[in-house]
A and B are shown apart, each in its own frame.
Chain A
Amino acid sequence: MAVNPTSHLQLLKNNNLWPSKNEENWKYFDFKKFETSLGSKEFKPNSSEVIFSSDLSYEIKLSSNKIIIAENLKRLIEFQFVESPQYINLDSKLDFRMTRLNLESKSLKIEIQNQKDLNFKISYEAYDDNLNLFIILDIRNSDVSLLEQDLVGEGCSFTNHLQIKLENSNLEHIALFATRHEHQLALKEQVKIYNAEICVGNNSNYNNTTLIVKNRFIRIQQSVALESENATGYLNAFNISDGPNFSELRTEVLHLKPKTESRQLFKTIAADSSQSVFNGRIFVNALAQKTVASQLCQGILLHPKAEINAKPELEIYADDVKAAHGAAIGQLGQDQVFYLISRGIKPEAAYKMLSKAFAGEVLSSIRQKSFREVCQNIIDLSSEAVFAKLAEDINMLGHQR
């Protein structure tokens, strides 16, 4: 392959931002797949062209050449560009190298103040190009639901970094990473690297639901710092992957003050020869007495070649802490499958029902009804192909006579 000196891949390597497989953080990362997927794509920093549009409703659309903001958000939200932003979770052990270049461009800062029940959407739009964004959300004295929606298509990629600061606020944050349905069957090249730093300040609650639906190659890192007493952070995630796809979710909850609470639930369904990784860290510093923290990972393998790796990490320096973690990976309950089949339900439909039930716990954590419906529809639509393919494999799996 001819080397393009200005390609994103080359820039990462030239700036010592290319990790090594020997590093613990990158243990499961498939560098070969990543290089192939990233190819010779250009690095494209944030655009500074902002357009206000009355065609959109409570939505911000981000693409490599423009930012489109709904007119009806203009009155409710402040927008500005920030030069050289800094990382906010200084205790983080996550590796943000892959989005380091994004800090050097102008970052879009979104400020929300004194808004009660504001629901809005951030969408990433990309067709055959590359998004490399750095976005800052500063939320004060507000109750907000945000649907961050990535439905980029074939041939496009992104490496995004999102920062969220909460003060006296509640944020329900739904992050949906999917692929345009029409591109799913022929999906070849696609890379998504997404880093999020969330700083939960005074009297604040962060409630995240991350949905990872049939992505070619994705690595998500979420660092949540509970920086004041009684701050809470809840992370729920559902991942469904098929084909030869790779998905990795690394979470980190930093309990930095007393009486903070976190709960993590990660559910994944792996079909075909897909690989899925979950690495979750709970860090409790010496000050954070009376911390309550839990983490649970549940995985279902639908094919003998599918792979799920789960690695929980607990690092606790306070002595008055309730912390728990668990991981369970297996197949769908065969007795459950048979019960449904013996009532005339075809095997693929039985698998679908059970998988939907498995995902249900995560989806039901989305409080904002319209966002929940958007996510449910996308998961249903995307799952069709997974279960149609599964039906072909069922004989091999030996679930039928």
Chain B
Amino acid sequence: MLEIKDLKVNIEDKEVLKGLNLKINPGEVHAIMGPNGSGKSTFSKVLAGHPDYKVTSGEINYEINFKFKNLLEMEAYERALEGVFIAYQYPIEIPGVSNYEFLRASFNAVCKHQGTEELSDVDFEILVMKKAKLVELNPSFLYRSLNEGFSGGEKKRNEILQMALLAPRLCILDETDSGLDIDSLKIVSEGVNSLRSEDRSIVLITHYQRLLDYIQPDFIHVFKNGRIVKTGDKSLALELESKGYDWL
């Protein structure tokens, strides 16, 4: 699904990722942990194609129709249309753009790209209501301005709602657990778990082992100084919880 080779990334001339290598197969769930400033969020922004992050070397090969294509050669919106989805740590508020209008535009763009017919107004509404139920998001939030005045938990649920609606193949969840209370964490995690499938890969970026109690990863990677310094299974998270990162 995804193969990253020797990825180096700068922000304003400061090197943040210093030679990252990672392979993710279809259906796998990878967790990325690491201390603050180790490059975790940079990794998600680079995958999304954020213009502030400059890739100085390396490749991000992503499988599209059984062929690998370098994501770095694709525009940000093209990556999204090909199934790359980032659930942001801080979802942006956009006053005046209704959540529903935004979801519809995004969904239609994906449908068009995939060559499938757009849904009728009625069918789309049924679909979006169903997905909102999945993350227990009150339908009234669909008709409000996008993320405006949403609580932290509501914003994160809205991100997972988008993920459920757009059915991406590669999902990167950037600290989706931060700012969530226990109930919300459970709801969001159940939403994510329901979206696990053989052909969908998920990357969880998190600081806390707690999220991994709910969403069981296949692999855990530890980022430090812009590189992966250790990879292990679920037990690594428990070890990190008790020892911290200094021993690595």
Contacts and interface: CB of A to CB of B under 8 A. Distances in A.
A120 interface: no
Given A341-B76, A342-B77, A344-B81, A360 B96 contact: yes
Contact of B94 (A339, A361, A398, A399): A339
Contacts of A343: 80, 102, 106, 109, 162, 166
B51 A336 contact: no
B105 interface: yes
B51 A338 contact: yes
Contacts of B109: 343-346, 349
Contact of B92 (A336, A344, A360, A400): A336
Interface string A321-351: 0000000000001111011111111110100
B113 interface: yes
26 contacts: A334-B51, A338-B48, A338-B50, A338-B51, A340-B94, A340-B106, A341-B76, A341-B77, A343-B102, A343-B106, A343-B109, A343-B162, A343-B166, A344-B109, A344-B166, A345-B105, A345-B106, A345-B109, A346-B109, A349-B105, A356-B97, A357-B96, A357-B145, A358-B96, A400-B76, A401-B51
Contacts of A399: 51
Interface of A: 333-336, 338-347, 349, 353-354, 356-358, 360-361, 398-401
Interface in B138-195: 145, 162, 166
Given A338-B50, A339-B88, A401-B49, A346 B94 contact: no
B51 A346 contact: no
Contacts of A400: 51, 75-76
A338 B79 CA distance: 12
Contact of B77 (A347, A357, A398): A347
Interface in B39-56: 48-51
B101 interface: yes
The residue in B91, B101, B106 that gathers the most chain A C-beta atoms within 10 A of its C-beta is B106
B244 interface: no
Nearest to B107: A344
Contact of A353 (B79, B88, B101, B166): B101
Given A344-B113, A345-B105, A345-B109, A353 B81 contact: no
B232 interface: no
A401 B75 contact: yes
A339 B91 contact: yes
B205 interface: no
Nearest to B48: A342
Given A335-B92, A353-B105, A354-B97, A342 B49 contact: yes
Contact of B76 (A353, A354, A401): A401
B95 interface: yes
Interface string B89-123: 00110111100011001100110010000000000
A342 B166 CA distance: 12
Given A353-B101, A398-B51, A339 B77 contact: no
Contacts of B94: 336, 339-340, 354, 357
The residue in A343, A346, A347 that gathers the most chain B C-beta atoms within 10 A of its C-beta is A343
B106 A339 contact: no
The residue in B86, B97, B145 that gathers the most chain A C-beta atoms within 10 A of its C-beta is B97
A360 B95 CA distance: 10
Complex A-B, nearest 5 residue pairs according to Cβ-Cβ distance, in ascending order: A357-B96, A344-B80, A343-B106, A344-B109, A339-B92
B51 A340 contact: no
Nearest to B95: A357
A338 B76 contact: yes
B71 to A, nearest CB: 11
A83 B77 CA distance: 63
A95 to B, nearest CB: 35
A351 B49 CA distance: 17
Nearest to B77: A341
Interface string B19-56: 00000000000000000000000000000111100000
Nearest to B88: A339
Contacts of B81: 344
The residue in A335, A343, A344, A358 that gathers the most chain B C-beta atoms within 10 A of its C-beta is A344
Given A353-B105, A358-B96, 7 more contacts: A338-B50, A338-B92, A339-B92, A342-B76, A342-B77, A349-B105, A401-B75
